[in-house]
Every structure is written in structure tokens, then in C-alpha cells.
Amino acid sequence: MLTGSIVALVTPFTEQGNVDYTALAELVDWHVAEGTDAIVAMGTTGESPTMSHDEHVMVVSAVCELAAGRIHVIAGNGSNATAEAVHLTERMANLPLAGFLNVNPYYNKPSQRGLIEHYRACCAASDLPQLLYNVPGRTGADLTPEQVAELAEIQHIVGIKEATGDVARVAELRKRCGNDFILLSGDDPTGCDFLLAGGQGVISVTANVVPGLMKQMVTAACRGETEQARALDAQMQDLHEAMFVQANPIPVKWALAQMGKIEANYRLPMTAPELPQQQHIEQTLKQAGLVSAEHA
């Protein structure tokens, strides 16, 4: 339930800034049809920092209802305030979720003791499995393999989304945390290498725009079909680059808007890409065959 090709789903908004539940339903249906294994709702890509707790829970609840058992749903439940993370976890604990994705507390830079107590409190709030999320580029702190190994001893922590892009960590984490600990890539450009090194899946931004292709690559890599996996990954490298020409989820929402999947609406402080980035994203989509050459 927590492995394979997992999309870090965007949250579509209306022009008035409300959640666009019609577009959200269409995105969920599309990922089911394309073979995506699971959806992360209300992660960073879902603009969770801009959402109230009520909105956060409502979006996750809606995704669960829309999924209707056809695809697994993972909910973001992290915060830099332990009380907030616990509160979110408690409010979503009874939803039909596969588990939670819990980002390393950002900004505060807690001690190892603080980290242990933070995650212990979150895990006490629900019996559902929880994935750690290490993204030092966002949080300002790196969850080292030594720290992960200690956190893995906490009940209900079952794996990690590792977004450093350091493929060497796969072997180190596997050695320290054991064969049952789930290792997921959170860095699209190195995701294929991560899987071929022994990872069990990806939580991907690029999967928002090419869910079928991402699923094929992940399947091939997890089967050890190196040549096939690398060939499929090569088709996505330009997209990986384009999806991060500005802070996520700015580019990916713009890309989905050009593909006609959502409207290009953001919540401040996120705004539409600057014109050069818009043009770059659109050109990359054209080259990938995701929009027509005549697309304006």
C-alpha cells in the first residue's frame, strides 16, 4: 500500500481561491486509470502550508471518498508544531487511509530527543503506519541515516520518503533499518537510480503530468529491469527539470493547466511562474507530446 508509483497530488483551486473539487475528482479518476499505486493528499505539492486545518481534512476526506477503494490514499500530517501534527493526525485517523506522510519538523531544528518525542506523539495519535519525510531543502534540517534508524524503532513508523537525491543513502538506510523498512524516493531526477539501488517506490511530482509513464518506470526498476527502467526514465528527465524551475508546486500546476487538467490558480505566497519559466515548461510539454505544438 505504501510502495510503487505514488503521486504527490496537487490541490486544484478555483479562481476565487477555493478547492476545486470537480477538478480534484477528475485528477483522482485519471490516476486510477493510469495505474498510479497511491496518492499523497495534502503534502507540500498540495499546498498544505496554505490550507487551514479544516480544509486540509476536507481535501483528504474528499480524496478518500473519490478514490472509493480504487487507489490507496496517504495523508500529509506533518507540522513543525507537534500539537498541530497530532491534531491533524487525530482528525484523519478514522479515514480509509493507507497511512500518513510526516515531514521532518521544519524551521525549529529540534534536537534528536525532540525529534523522537515529536514522532512518538504523532504515532500515538493513530494506529496507521507513518512514513518519515526527509526534505532538507524545505525544512532546513537533514534526517541522517543514524537518526532514521532510531526513529524507525518507534511503533508505526514503517519507512521514509528520502528527498535528498543521495542515492548512496539507500544502502545505508537498508543496513541500519532492515529489509522491512520502506524506502521511497522523493527526488524525481534520481528516482530511477534510487529504485535500482533497492528502493521500493517513489513519491513523485512529475507523476502528476505523466502518471502512466512513471508507473511503467517504477515497475521496471522494481523488477530489476535496468535497461527498460533507464530508457523510460530518460523520457522524463526534461520533465523532471521543468517541474522544478521554480519552487514546487508552481511549475507542475502550470503544466497541468496547459494540459487542461486544472486551472492555473495558486494560493499566496505561491504565484504563477514568471514568463520565461512558463515558456520553458510549455516547450518541454510540447516536446514530450503532452500538449500540441499549436498550444499557445
Residues designated as active site: 133, 161
Stated length of the chain: 296
DSSP codes of every residue in 132-150: EEE-HHHHS----HHHHHH
Q: What's the CA gap between 39 and 26, in Å, rounded? A: 13
For the annotated binding site, the residues are 45, 203
Q: What's the CA gap between 258 and 185, in Å, rounded? A: 27
Contact 135, 78 (CB under 8 A): no
CA dihedral 164, 207, 45, 151 (to 10 degrees): -40
Q: What's the CA gap between 216 and 149, in Å, rounded? A: 31
The three three-digit cell numbers of residue 119, written as one number: 514522532
